[in-house]
Amino acid sequence: MKKCLGLLLLALSLTNSAFAEEESNVAEFDLRTIKCGQFLALNEQSRDYLFFFLYGFHSGVNKQFLHSVPKIEKAVESVGDLCVKNTELLVLDALGKQYDAQ
C-alpha cells in the first residue's frame, strides 16, 4: 500500500512539474472531466505524463496490474485515435473504451 501511494505521489509530482515547465492552453482541470480536446491541446510532454498517470489509475481501479510496453503503446494509439475523432469525449471514457476493446 505504501509503495502504491509513493508511486502515485511521484506520478503527481512529475505531472505537476511538466505542466509548470511549458505553457499550455489548459491551466487547470479536473481529471474526472477533462475532454479529449483539452487533452490534445496540451504539449506533448504533459500529454505523456497525464496519459501515463491516467492509464495507471485506470489499471489500478480495474485491478489489472500486468502490462507490457506494446500494450501501453497500443493504448496510447487507441485513445489518441478516439480523441481525434471525438474531442468532446472524456479522456477517462476513451481509456475505458480502449480497455473494453482489449
Q: Above pLDDT 70, what percent of the chain?
A: 72
Calculated CA dihedral for residues 20, 27, 31, 99, nearest 10 degrees:
-80
pLDDT digits (tens, 9 = 90+) for 81-101: 999 999 999 999 998 888 776
Q: What is the pTM of this model?
A: 0.66
The answer to whether the CB of 101 falls within 8 A of the CB of 95 is no
Whether the per-residue pLDDT at 65 is higher than 70: the answer is yes
**Residue 7 DSSP SS3:** helix
Instruction: Identify which of 12-16, 27-31, 46-50, 88-92 has the greatest average pLDDT.
Output: 88-92
Domains of the chain, first to last: 2-101 (1.10.890.10)
